[in-house]
Amino acid sequence: MNRQTAVLIFANSSQGERKFKSFAKGDAFVEELNENILQTVKKSKLPYYLFTEKEQVGKSFGERFSNAIQAVFEKGFESVITVGNDTPQLRKHHILQAANEIDKNKCVVGPSIDGGFYLMGLSRKQFGEISFLDLPWQTKSLEKTISFQIEATQTEVIKLDTLLDVDSASDLKELVKLSQHISGKLLSILSSLLNANVSISLATKLLIGRQEKRNYFNKGSPEFLAI
């Protein structure tokens, strides 16, 4: 694998997220999301850089994101894989798959259920060919638009699994349903954020059920359960 690839973690702190996400008043949840993505990226053994609101430069999201990518390229890397903190289903194998495809001169996009993307991997050359500031950031057409721009440069786009990213309170409830894909600690914090007793009860049952399942199948957890 080409070690000229670095991972950019573009994620605000819990304090920074309060400005953008209503549920971020639960600092413990955002902090666990940040810790989760940090540990996942470390498992890839690729060099990485964390850009919180303290390191980001620019007025709009597009400016801050584009400037962060450029900053990593300026450190001498030839390709960058970007990830956020709001997709708990993201695993090491997604990052490594992206790195392998980049080595083949392909661009990689990890689509989100809401039409955005949770991961993007591209080379320095590909980055220069995309009009980042003109992209429809934080809209349902973002992933399709950026994929179209990349394909217009005669570059093949490899799409990873479509995953859920957490942007709203309703997404928290959807995340509970994915208990097999997230850590027990994150699920425990999540249940405390959901006010409805039925949601808390459901989270508790899922935690117990998952533990029973792990005890029954005592042959090692599948990769998507590893945190």
Given a cut of 50, whether residue 197 has pLDDT beyond it is no
Q: Is residue 74 located within the same domain as residue 141?
A: yes
Q: Is residue 154 located within the same domain as residue 136?
A: yes
pLDDT at position 4: 92
Where does the pLDDT of residue 227 fall: very low under 50, low under 70, confident under 90, or very high at 90 and above? very low
pLDDT at position 173: 64
Among residues 136, 159, 182, which one ends one of the domains? 159
Q: Is residue 153 located within the same domain as residue 174?
A: no
Please tell me the chain's helix, strand, coil percentages from 3-state DSSP, rounded to the nearest 5: 50, 15, 35
In terms of average pLDDT, the best of 28-37, 119-128, 130-139 is 119-128
Which tokens hold the place of 48?
Answer: 């990485």
Contact 175, 191 (CB under 8 A): no
In this structure, of 14-28, 42-56, 153-167, the range with the lowest mean pLDDT score is 14-28
Q: Is residue 99 located within the same domain as residue 187?
A: no
Among residues 130, 159, 188, which one ends one of the domains? 159
Instruction: Establish if 55 belongs to a structural domain.
Output: yes
Where does the pLDDT of residue 39 fall: very low under 50, low under 70, confident under 90, or very high at 90 and above? very high
Q: Which residues pair with 79 in a beta bridge?
A: 5, 123
pLDDT at position 218: 37
Instruction: Establish if 195 belongs to a structural domain.
Output: yes
Q: Is residue 199 located within the same domain as residue 149?
A: no
Q: Is residue 102 located within the same domain as residue 126?
A: yes
Angle at 206 between CA 202 and CA 212, to 5 degrees: 145
Rounded average pLDDT over 32-39? 90
Given a cut of 90, whether residue 106 has pLDDT beyond it is yes
CA distance 40 to 92: 6
Domain count within the chain: 2
CATH number at residue 82: 3.90.550.10
Q: Is residue 217 located within the same domain as residue 195?
A: yes
Instruction: Establish if 196 belongs to a structural domain.
Output: yes
Which tokens hold the place of 220?
Answer: 């090692």
Q: Is residue 81 located within the same domain as residue 189?
A: no
- Between 205 and 79, the more confident residue is 79
Instruction: Establish if 208 belongs to a structural domain.
Output: yes
Q: Is residue 19 located within the same domain as residue 68?
A: yes
Boundaries of domain holding 22? 5-159
DSSP states along 136-162 = -TTSTTHHHHHHHHHHTTT--EEE---
Which tokens hold the place of 15?
Answer: 């304090």
* pTM: predicted TM-score of the whole model, two decimal places: 0.78
Instruction: Establish if 164 belongs to a structural domain.
Output: no
Q: Is residue 33 located within the same domain as residue 97?
A: yes
Please tell me what DSSP assigns to residue 112: B
Q: Is residue 76 located within the same domain as residue 182?
A: no
Which tokens hold the place of 216?
Answer: 């029954």
Q: Is residue 69 located within the same domain as residue 103?
A: yes
Instruction: Establish if 140 belongs to a structural domain.
Output: yes
pLDDT at position 171: 65
Among residues 159, 183, 216, which one ends one of the domains? 159
